[in-house]
């Protein structure tokens, strides 16, 4: 049976859904952007987390699974123009910098779910001039994490977005082989496109790599230290996988994005949600 524990860590509320029998767990911190900070399978933690950045509200969290909304990546000069007005927005959007509301928790023998909600506010409207409601349901089973998403436009005009996720997978290896049907990647370190015909080594890479031409919305890779294989399956809206790491840090980020960085300025692949409508999509992370 799954259990729910709510505890305080440095004045943050941590929701932990866990099953002692299966050795699985999920930890979520609503106040810090609705972020997942821990995901366990067979008593092994799958995610990297720098707790110092979690506890410092002035820092971007390094670790867990940050939520990227309404944009993924950066904007040139940190700004964009919409309807003849210039707005400034931080990297990866507004959602990861806002407290989320816990709407519901459900527990049974085989799974557990916590549902979070974020609505637009005066603060978000300064960066992103759209009324919205975003609902995430995190569900954990024995060896899977399901993230069901609803992005609702409460404005009276079409709402542009390109959401994404930023999972930090725990591994010291920077040279992994990815099972994907993508044939090429863009290297943001030199803006060159290369074929994918071997493992992708991020050891000397300061900037990210983007797998850019996949058809199947699925990617797999092994975490060598745990001898576990991770498979990510995601909705059709997520066209790209971004790979990134930091030197001397024990993680690899494998990130599903709906569009590439700075898309809010290019305006070529924006996902447009019509007034009063919602976009429903999902991400599933399986660990075997």
Task: Tell me the fold of 3-287.
Answer: Beta-galactosidase; Chain A, domain 5 (2.70.98)
Which pairs count as long-range contacts for 2-7, CB under 8 Å and 24+ apart, including other chains? 2/107, 2/108, 2/109, 2/111, 2/112, 2/140, 3/107, 4/105, 4/107, 4/112, 4/114
Model pLDDT, residue 216: 97
pLDDT digits (tens, 9 = 90+) for 232-260: 999 999 999 999 999 999 999 999 999 99
Can you tell me the mean pLDDT for 95-100?
Answer: 98
DSSP string, the chain: --EEEEEEETTEEEEEEEETTTTEEEEEETTTTTEEEEEEETTEE-B-B-HHHHH-TTS---BSB-EEBS-SS--GGGEEEETTEEEE--TTBSGGGSPPEEEEEEE-SS-EEEEEEEE--HHHHHHS---EEEEEEEEE-SSEEEEEEEEEE-SSS-EEE--EE--EEE-S-SEE--B-S--EEEETTTTEEEE--S-EE-TT-SS-EEE---SSSEEEEEETTTTEEEEEEE-TT--EEEEE--TT-SEEEEEEESS-TTHHHH-SS-EEEPTT-EEEEEEEEEE-
Percent residues over pLDDT 70 in the chain: 100
Average pLDDT, the chain: 97
pLDDT value of position 183: 97
Domain map (residue ranges) of the chain: 3-287
Summarised one tens digit per residue, pLDDT across range 132-184 is 999 999 999 999 999 999 999 999 999 999 999 999 999 999 999 999 999 99
pLDDT in tens, 171-214: 999 999 999 999 999 999 999 999 999 899 999 999 999 999 99
**pLDDT confidence of residue 232:** 98
Rounded to 5 degrees, what angle do the CA atoms 75, 131, 271 make? Answer: 50
List pLDDT tens digits, range 15-42. 999 999 999 999 999 999 999 999 999 9
User: Which pLDDT band, with edges at 50, 70 and 90, does 14 fall under?
Assistant: very high
């Amino acid at each position: 049976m799954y259990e729910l524990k709510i505890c305080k860590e440095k004045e943050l509320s941590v929701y932990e859904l866990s099953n002692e029998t299966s050795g699985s767990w999920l930890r979520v911190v609503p106040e810090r952007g609705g972020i997942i900070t821990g995901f366990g399978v067979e008593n092994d933690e799958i995610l990297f987390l720098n707790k110092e950045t979690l506890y410092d509200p002035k820092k971007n969290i390094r670790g867990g699974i940050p939520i990227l909304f309404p944009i993924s990546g950066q904007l040139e000069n940190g700004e964009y123009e919409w309807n003849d007005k210039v707005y400034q927005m931080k990297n990866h959007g507004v959602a990861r910098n806002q407290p989320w509301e816990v709407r519901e928790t459900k527990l049974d023998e085989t799974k557990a779910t916590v549902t979070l909600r974020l609505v637009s506010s005066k603060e978000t409207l300064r960066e992103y001039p759209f009324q919205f409601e975003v609902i995430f349901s995190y569900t954990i089973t024995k060896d899977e994490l399901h993230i069901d998403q609803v992005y609702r436009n409460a404005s009276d005009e079409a709402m542009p977005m390109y959401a994404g996720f930023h999972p930090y997978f725990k591994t010291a290896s920077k040279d992994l082989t990815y099972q994907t049907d993508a044939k090429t990647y863009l290297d943001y370190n030199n803006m060159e496109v290369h074929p994918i015909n071997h493992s992708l080594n991020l050891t000397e890479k300061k900037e990210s790599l983007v797998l850019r031409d996949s058809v199947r919305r699925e990617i797999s890779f092994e975490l060598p230290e745990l001898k576990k294989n991770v498979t990510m399956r995601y909705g059709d809206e997520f066209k790209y996988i971004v790979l990134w790491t930091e030197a001397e840090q024990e993680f690899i980020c494998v990130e599903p994005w709906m569009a590439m960085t700075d898309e809010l300025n290019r305006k070529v692949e924006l996902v447009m949600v019509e007034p009063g409508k919602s976009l429903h999509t999902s991400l599933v992370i399986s660990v075997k």
